[in-house]
Amino acid sequence: MTYGIIQIVLFLSVVLLLVKPLGWYMARVYENKPCGLDRILGPVERAIYRLCGVNPTNEMGWKRYTVAMLAFNAAGFFVLYALMLLQGFLPLNPQHFPAVAPDLAFNTAVSFITNTNWQAYGGETTMSYLTQMLGLAVQNFVSAASGMAVLVALIRGFVRRNSQTIGNFWVDLTRSLLYILIPLSLIIAILLASQGVVQTFKPYPTATLVEPVTMADGNSVAEQTIAVGPTASQIAIKQLGTNGGGFFNTNSAHPLENPTPLSNFLEMLAILLIPASLCYTFGKMAGDTKQGWAVLASMVIIFIGLLALCCWSEQKGTPQLISAGADLQPSVTQSGGNMEGKEVRFGIFNSALFATTTTGTSCGAVNSMHDSYTPLGGMVPMWLIQLGEVIFGGVGSGLYGMLAFAILAVFIAGLMVGRTPEYLGKKIETFEMKMASLVILLPICLALIGTAVAVATKAGQAGAFNPGPHGFSEILYAYSSASNNNGSAFAGINCNTPFYNFTLAIAMLGGRYLFKILVLAIAGSLAAKKYVPASAGTLSTSGPMFVILLISVVIVVGALSFIPALALGPIVEHLMMIGR
């Protein structure tokens, strides 16, 4: 246990040490100030604008910015959808995979353009190398950059005064890709390849087994086909862009996708690196870095609390295994407890840390099976998703979701003292409150309504392989994951059916694009406002009191929204497990 705690402390320390330098760099990128790489990539950036006919000095109002964002993502959907339907006729398909089924292709295309990366398929048995690279990996980059662009537009809304514009979507998208995502991905990909993450275009090799295996039908198998491919390059952006869609079916639990403890550390670090650092970027661009630190502190406190609950629950194990004498001892696993569904090479603490990291963000990558966690241990990643994935959230999307909670928090504080609430020098009025409330409530409604439809219909019930509370948890997790654009799942559910492919796609589309439209509307409204100087009655939004208020609002909203549903799933399952 001590070894596991040391690993967690080391990991969080490295993340926090990198927040300021990377956050400062990203602020320089978005403020179009010298950042070092501009000397090398500046000509490339200008060439891209000329090629695409973009005038980088031509700024947009929030409605035009929204139309550009939606048009770009719609184009990405059609290209990816067509690529999957035609992959049987296209090159770089050494395994000769046929076209993807239309309903699955629709769900997958929606999944990757929304940055959800929900996978109702096995990558190594379904997608060609070309589809993985030109389709899925490209969307990993641009969907992440799209979320970062929306965040920057919102920050400008706070910073600008009496302005009708919030930036240029094409510039924000290009700079996110060129100066941030691509360079970081190159570094991470090289590091992962050095650890043994496979990167090749060769066909799947065949290995001779040391000892033949007799199958259930009586046939003896002496060879095994080993799936390979251009993996390291996709895994790097999968983690950095908080995408989560793995090259292989078992994601980061696969030995060729995550082979060593160091690669596991790097993959977790990549997940949190940009979302955490964007908090400092926010403070830097807003002219008060304390604002960014306050938001980051709120995230870290909630994250540590829920991580501790997950580790404790998994370390404690299950009474049934203990009474049967099947509980693994510390000498075997280095940690004991519930090792079901976990890699022995990572153990409980690294599995729980990965699970909370990937669901606090909108990543969804996994190095263990969340479906095999104890009821309370599995409830932690589920609830982190249901909080809106604001701890730390996706690249861009997590912070603008958290800022919606901050607007709600200052509004509540304003009601307490009887004055118009203010945040970063802008009055928070009726329009901003309506939009922020919708931002918070929209994913909640999509998750709960989707779950209700699934459990009330035969098509939905047929997907859950487990009865009772756990089967309900599997369905609730699926719609929570889709509506909040996470992509991870409780694995004991068959989602590759027309019902789930279409209903989950609707949840993904609503959870991503309606969310973005509302955030951009807030950005446009704030940018048009005048600056209001702080007074004696202004609530400080950079101190401990505001951190506590913000944490309380996030937790209370999450509790009021999902505790009734959680009581039908993991909570009652926990009570059944302990015999209550």
Q: Assess whether pLDDT exceeds 80 at residue 2.
A: no
Q: Does residue 16 lie within any of the structural domains?
A: yes
The first and second tokens of residue 402, run together, are 């958290």
Q: Does residue 395 lie within any of the structural domains?
A: yes
Lowest mean pLDDT among 164-168, 202-206, 332-336, 478-482: 332-336
Eight-class DSSP state of 543: S
Give the per-residue pLDDT at 324: 67
Q: Assess whether pLDDT exceeds 80 at residue 237.
A: yes
Kindly tell me the sign of the dihedral angle through the C-alpha atoms of 146, 150, 155, 157: positive
Q: How does pLDDT run across 241-290, given as a tens digit for each residue? A: 999 988 998 899 999 999 999 999 999 999 999 999 999 999 999 999 99
Residue 535: pLDDT band with limits 50, 70, 90: confident
Give the per-residue pLDDT at 465: 85
Q: Does residue 218 lie within any of the structural domains?
A: no
Contact 100, 85 (CB under 8 A): yes
Give the per-residue pLDDT at 331: 44
How far does CA 214 lie from the centroid of its chain? 41
Q: Provide the domain limits for residue 529.
A: 2-207+225-577
Mean pLDDT within 323-346: 68
Global pTM? 0.93
Q: How does pLDDT run across 47-77, given as a tens digit for each residue? A: 999 999 999 999 999 999 999 999 999 999 9
Q: Does residue 531 lie within any of the structural domains?
A: yes
Q: Assess whether pLDDT exceeds 90 at residue 533.
A: no
Q: Does residue 214 lie within any of the structural domains?
A: no
User: How many independent structural domains does the chain possess?
Assistant: 1
Q: Does residue 260 lie within any of the structural domains?
A: yes
Phi, psi of 464, rounded to the nearest 5 degrees: -80, 125
Contact 166, 65 (CB under 8 A): yes
Contact 232, 137 (CB under 8 A): no
Mean pLDDT across the chain: 92
Q: Residue with structure tokens 């998703």?
A: 385
Q: Residue with structure tokens 């929030």?
A: 62
d(CA 68, CA 464): 39
d(CA 390, CA 393): 4
Q: CA distances (Å), 222 to each of 208, 212, 254, 401, in order?
A: 6, 4, 22, 52
Task: Identify the burial level of 383 via C-beta atoms within 10 angstroms of its C-beta, where 0-12 means exposed, 13-18 middle and 19 or more buried.
Answer: buried
Phi, psi of 501, rounded to the nearest 5 degrees: -60, -40
Contact 423, 526 (CB under 8 A): no
Give the per-residue pLDDT at 453: 96
Q: Does residue 230 lie within any of the structural domains?
A: yes
DSSP for 27-69?
HHHHTT---STHHHHHHHHHHHHHHHT--TT--B-HHHHHHHH
* % residues pLDDT > 90 (the chain): 79
The first and second tokens of residue 532, run together, are 């209001």
Q: Does residue 212 lie within any of the structural domains?
A: no
Q: How does pLDDT run across 377-424, given as a tens digit for each residue? A: 999 999 999 998 899 988 988 899 999 999 999 999 888 877 778 999
The first and second tokens of residue 228, run together, are 């390979």
Residue 528 region by backbone torsions, left for phi larger than 0, else alpha for psi between -120 and 50, else beta: alpha
More confident residue, 311 or 4: 311
Residue 4: pLDDT band with limits 50, 70, 90: confident
Give the per-residue pLDDT at 213: 85
Q: Assess whether pLDDT exceeds 70 at residue 336.
A: no
Residue 218: pLDDT band with limits 50, 70, 90: confident
Contact 256, 196 (CB under 8 A): yes
Contact 478, 490 (CB under 8 A): yes
Give the per-residue pLDDT at 580: 65
DSSP for 212-280?
EEE-TTS-EEEEEE----B-HHHHHHHHHTT----SSTTGGGSTTTS-SHHHHHHHHHHHHHHHHHHHH
Q: Assess whether pLDDT exceeds 60 at residue 333.
A: no
CB atoms within 10 A of CB 322: 13
CB atoms within 10 A of CB 200: 12
